[in-house]
A = this chain, B = another copy of it.
Amino acid sequence: MDHDQELQTVADHFRQEGYRWTPQRALIVRAAFATHDHFTADELLARSHEQDPRVSRATVYRTLSVLEAAGFVEGLDTGDGGRRFEHVLGHQHHDHMVCTTCAAIVEFHDPLIEERQEAAARQHGFLIERHSLRLYGQCKRCRASVQKRVGR
């Protein structure tokens, strides 16, 4: 799915749900989908401002919450109180490793883990709607630089 198609999908969803499709929302969604990275609300505001400095922070938050509810975007707690969002539409589900030193995010996926989650849920009569698996620690790069320091 290319970006224009995606944008169309989102626009359709907004209208179907009774939301209006405004230039601000188009601009914010375009900015959110521009790259597949993990952005904060503030970064999204900044990116939107590159296109039009009049877009307000409030509208960014309001749009993000509609996008999240619709599953176009997924929010991750960063652990330090903030949140980052990622563009999900058209991307395969995956989990995250978060570096506690440099905040780098590594994505991974393991079907066996997903399967065992389902099994655990079944055992408890629980119906999974979504899940979040995060590994916190040191990424390759940060481990390497620690070892260097320790080594000398």
A residues apposed to B, CB below 8 Å: 77, 79, 97, 99-100, 106, 108, 110, 112-113, 116-117, 119-121, 123-140, 143
Contact = CB atoms under 8 A, between A and B. Distances in A.
Contacts of A125: 139-140, 143
Given A126-B135, A140-B124, A110 B106 contact: no
A129 B139 contact: no
Given A100-B129, A113-B113, A113-B116, A108 B124 contact: yes
12 contacts: A97-B120, A108-B120, A110-B119, A113-B116, A117-B133, A126-B140, A128-B136, A129-B136, A129-B137, A130-B137, A131-B133, A133-B134
Contacts of A135: 117, 120-121, 126, 128, 131
A41 to B, nearest CB: 12
A69 to B, nearest CB: 12
B127 A143 contact: yes
Q: Which of A112, A119, A125 has the most CB of B within 10 A?
A: A125
B106 A112 contact: no
